């Protein structure tokens, strides 16, 4: 049976993070995840997770300065990138989060690639001591023009070069359908390096029961391949979150 994780960056984001955790539990989600929880005391989130029995599966490193979208592929910003990684690790340890998405940022070229690789090695080596997995996520060029990491092929090369067992791909069906398509075959190819799967409709990025992706097929396909971790619902609700949850009983 497919299990789902509520991404609280988009779902119930009108609530405080602890109350959003509680709302996700009430709605029947099996886990939660978030983007940038740092304005909320970790102890408050930990208390809500304990109360509900849910796990916060993942969180992101900070975006950086206004207008930025991560730091780890930016040459000359290594000190800040390491600080962002340390911040995420400290928060993840306090709330029991097993995955951290290290954001690359807006950059391009060989120097950015080398910078990202070295910062990821730092992240993996530091996170490995706590049993935490580092994730990297390709973002599509329409929503995040200029973002360093755009495709799963590029991510695969980086994962091989970094050469750490706790570096995995965040397979976001929304972004990868836009950039690469052929999701059925792409899932088979990338599943061995995948640490987490997310989904949303394409092109709207709303509930998964509309648009060009047949998620009933995708979810069944993942299950047939033995993937049984909760799938991340990272979509922007058309109305209120609760009004749009009908897909959970139909897909």
**pTM of model > 0.95:** yes
> Across the strands, what pairs with 104?
70
Residues 241-247, mean pLDDT to the nearest whole number: 98
Q: Is the pLDDT of residue 1 over 90?
A: no
CATH of domain 4-249: 3.20.20.150
Work out the burial of residue 79: count CB atoms within 10 Å of its CB; fewer than 13 is exposed, 13-18 middle, 19 or more buried.
Answer: exposed
Measured between alpha carbons, how far is 33 from 196 in angstroms, rounded to an integer? Answer: 11
Contact 115, 155 (CB under 8 A): no
CA distance 121 to 134: 10
| pLDDT number for residue 51 | 98
12 pLDDT band (50/70/90 cuts)? very high
pLDDT of residue 201: 98
Both structure tokens of 101 = 């998405």
pLDDT in tens, 188-230: 999 999 999 999 999 999 999 999 999 999 999 999 999 999 9
Instruction: State the chain's mean pLDDT as an integer.
Output: 98
Each residue's pLDDT tens digit, 149-191: 999 999 999 999 999 999 999 999 999 999 999 999 999 999 9
Please give the pLDDT value at position 109. 98
pLDDT tens column, 22-32: 999 999 999 99
Residues tagged active-site: 137, 234
Output the CA torsion sign for 184, 186, 192, 195. negative
């Amino acid at each position: 049976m497919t299990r789902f994780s509520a991404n609280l960056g988009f779902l119930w984001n009108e609530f405080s993070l602890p109350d959003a955790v509680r709302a996700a539990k009430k709605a029947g989600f099996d886990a939660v995840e978030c983007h940038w929880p740092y304005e909320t005391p970790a102890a408050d989130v930990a208390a809500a997770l304990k109360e509900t029995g849910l796990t916060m599966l993942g969180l992101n490193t900070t975006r950086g300065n206004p207008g930025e979208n991560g730091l780890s592929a930016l040459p000359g910003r290594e000190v800040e990138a390491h600080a962002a990684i340390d911040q995420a690790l400290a928060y993840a340890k306090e709330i029991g989060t097993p995955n951290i998405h290290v954001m690359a940022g807006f950059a391009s070229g060989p120097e950015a690639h080398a910078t990202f690789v070295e910062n990821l090695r730092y992240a993996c080596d530091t996170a490995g001591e706590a049993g935490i997995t580092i994730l990297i996520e390709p973002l599509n060029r329409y929503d995040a023009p200029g973002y360093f990491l755009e495709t799963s092929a590029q991510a695969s090369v980086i994962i091989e070069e970094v050469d750490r067992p706790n570096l995995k791909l965040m397979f976001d069906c929304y972004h990868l359908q836009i950039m690469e398509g052929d999701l059925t075959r792409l899932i088979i190819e990338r599943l061995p390096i995948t640490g987490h799967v997310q989904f949303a409709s394409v092109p709207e990025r709303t509930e998964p029961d509309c648009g060009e992706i047949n998620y009933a097929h995708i979810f069944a396909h993942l299950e047939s391949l033995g993937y049984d971790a909760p799938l991340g619902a990272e979509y922007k609700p058309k109305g209120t979150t609760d009004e749009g949850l009908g897909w959970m009983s139909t897909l």
